[in-house]
Structure 1
Amino acid sequence: MKADAARIAAITRAWPADLRLVLLHGHDESASRDMAGQLAAGFGAGVTITELAGSALRSDPQALLAAATSLSMFGDRELVRVDGLDDEGQAAVTALLEGPPGHPVLAVAGVFKKGSKLLALADKHVAVAVCINYEASLRDAGRLLAEMAAPLGLRLERGVPEGLFESAGGDRMIMRRELEKFALYKDASLQNPQRLGAEDLAALGIATGEAELFAPIAAITTGDVGEATDLIGRLPDGTAIPLLRALERRFAQLVLLRTEVDAGQSPAAVVEGQGKAIFWKEKTFIIKALSLWTQPALAGAMGDLLAAERAVKSSGGIADLGAQHLLLDLARRAAVAGRRR
């Protein structure tokens, strides 16, 4: 039967005795993996998890039923998890549902083809909970991050959800790990709720949001020296480390994308091929940056950024000025590359 996120959350708290299988699928595989992790955690630390690959079920359709009905060596409750389930696992799922009761089964799939017989079977069966996960967008950040943060005792201030969402590229597992890290940093819990603000994101090197870092990153990587000079000069004290780290993430992204450009694709085709993995407001700037930065230049920039971060941390802030000089130098490198085109 079809299930929404609220239904999955209820199953996380208490798996019903008559539920044989939870199937998580859809375009947002990070959301499915995140849900799967929460469902598994709901069984407690003592649960035994038997893992199966979806590809293994193609040649052995009885493997799933065998794992679900196996005897526990220690009498503890077991969970069977299948990763990469696809339509070729239909026979295995049918055998499971027609077989005797056993351990609960959790399956993670990607996108099913239109007319999928396995999905049709799962959608109609009362012993199956099927949840489809669509890719989230920035406008979903407030609700999504608030739902993740509440059980950790975190209350997110304005702008924080959007900052976390963008820094994680919309990946829910990364966002959850970041929130867990911040909960430890703030000593937050349900009994001791804490507010999470932009200053906390900056303290641990997370991007402080579009308003402060998006514009200077775009100016630096696209060679707009005048804009970069103005924006860097107006940044508040203590922004050096967050900006350096944000630039490190941007240059690491450019390294990966530049590989496809060097293989013959145009920068625009490479960026558009990433879909929603790249925030729409950034696409124009990333396309331009890809045309300016070669792999050797990117490697040099990454090395300089890491050295600048070490200098700032070791000096207790005295090297902030040096970091600013590097940022402007990076903008000039991009500008020079643009004039050579």
Structure 2
Amino acid sequence: MTALKAHEVARFLARPDISEGIFLAYGPDAGLVRETGQRLIRHFSADDPHSASIVTLEGAEVDADPSLLAVEARTVSLFGGKRIIRVRGATKSIVMTLTELRDDPGGAAIVLEAGNLLPKDALRALVEAAKLGRALPCYPDSDETLNALIRDTFAKEAIRVDADVISTLRDILGNDREITRRELEKLCLYAATNKSLSRDEVLLLCADNAALVIDTILDSTGAGHAEKLELALNRALSSAVDPQRLLATATIHFATLRRWRGEVDAGKSPRDVLAGARPKPHFSRTSGLEQQLRLWSDSALASASERLLQATADSRRRPALAEASLRRALLGICMLAATQ
């Protein structure tokens, strides 16, 4: 029985211990599932990529005609090369066909890509139990695996990065390996000439600029910085960010501050409150949020939240005045913060 652990997959992909059989990439990270399938195909066709016979089938095709997989696996390659069959979106409907191929795949490599499968799933159980079968779990990157991926990618391209680039990227990137790869490839292309990357360049190229300007609006309002607030608001509104979206986000921000403030009033330090927050705020905002927690009292936060709710109601009754309601509410709260 061969059931690989998630941390063993990378080592297996670097040097698979079998060259034929059934290979199942499965898990919740669809991007990593696709990448794993692609890496297996590249490995099995590397000896003679020109003569390799690669057939790609969709799960729906095989579901409609399960015998199609067996026919493709048993067909002799026209040029005598490696026979590779890839099935995307594989399901347990092909278990009967795979049972026929499990012990004698005829030299073919059958690469299956599937979603998140429970241990008792018939497809996963069959592959894990097969002598010529390998099941490769694909789970979202942890902080450690994401850090390693970022470092390895830049090291391979001989790109020097500032000390805070890796932590910045880790906070920006999500849990889909395919998206992560695309973002890293974009950065490598950008840095191909200078062979260096700064945090500011990473933020410029990868961060959601709308999200960044919204963070600036929230933090400027909460800290009482009227000039920064005005500049950030102008940028957001000129970029067609919906005023009602900004009101909703500000309402959530101040409600969150009030919840955190309750923890501070109960005896926690602002730093400890933020360290235990889920989702964890971006590290670049930590000091600003600490300042806001120290600045605002519970009653003042309640007043700010009430003002935002009233502005939201006004904007819904009179959508044409949504921007004016937004500006009036945020500036009023900003001035209140400045007097705390």
Shorter chain as denominator, the TM-score bin is 0.5 to 0.7
Aligned: 1:225 with 2:226 = no
**8 A contact 2:59–2:87 mirrored in 1:** yes
Point out the more displaced range, 152-161 or 107-116: 152-161
State the Cα deviation string for residues 285-321 of structure 1 (Å, max 9, x = none): xxx9xx9999x99xx9xxxxxxxxxxxxxxxxxxxxx
**8 A contact 2:6–2:139 mirrored in 1:** no
In the TM superposition, residue 232 of structure 1 has moved relative to its aligned partner by: 4.7
Q: Secondary structure at the match of 2:28?
A: coil
> Radius of gyration: which is bigger?
2
- CA 1:86 to 1:215, structure 2 compared with 1: closer, same or farther past 3 Å? same
In the TM superposition, residue 97 of structure 1 has moved relative to its aligned partner by: 1.4
Given residue 32 of structure 1, which amino acid in structure 2 is its aligned partner? V
Q: Which runs of 5+ in 2 are unaligned?
A: 250-255, 257-277, 283-304, 334-340
Q: Secondary structure at the match of 1:143?
A: helix
State the Cα deviation string for residues 13-32 of structure 1 (Å, max 9, x = none): 56555431221111222221
**8 A contact 1:11–1:39 mirrored in 2:** no
Q: How does 1:305-324 map to 2 (within 5 A)?
A: none
Give the distance between the partners of 1:333 and 1:101, measured in 2 at CA.
73
In the TM superposition, residue 166 of structure 1 has moved relative to its aligned partner by: 3.9
Give the distance between the partners of 2:228 and 2:151, measured in 1 at CA.
31
- CA 1:117 to 1:21, structure 2 compared with 1: closer, same or farther past 3 Å? same
Q: Secondary structure at the match of 1:205?
A: helix
Give the distance between the partners of 1:39 and 1:293, measured in 2 at CA.
53
Aligned: 1:37 with 2:42 = no
- CA 1:137 to 1:215, structure 2 compared with 1: closer, same or farther past 3 Å? farther
State the Cα deviation string for residues 234-255 of structure 1 (Å, max 9, x = none): x9xxxx9xxx89x98x98xx8x
Q: Secondary structure at the match of 2:187?
A: helix
State the Cα deviation string for residues 204-241 of structure 1 (Å, max 9, x = none): 622399xxx97753353x696354847958x9xxxx9x
In the other structure, the counterpart of 1:332 is: 327
In the TM superposition, residue 131 of structure 1 has moved relative to its aligned partner by: 1.3
Given residue 171 of structure 1, which amino acid in structure 2 is its aligned partner? D
Question: What is the identity percentage for the equivalent residue pairs of Structure 1 and Structure 2?
Answer: 23
Give the distance between the partners of 1:121 and 1:196, measured in 2 at CA.
46
Give the distance between the partners of 2:9 and 2:149, measured in 1 at CA.
15
Give the distance between the partners of 2:227 and 2:82, measured in 1 at CA.
57
- CA 1:219 to 1:49, structure 2 compared with 1: closer, same or farther past 3 Å? same
Aligned: 1:84 with 2:89 = yes
**8 A contact 1:77–1:103 mirrored in 2:** yes
Given residue 37 of structure 2, which amino acid in structure 1 is its aligned partner? A
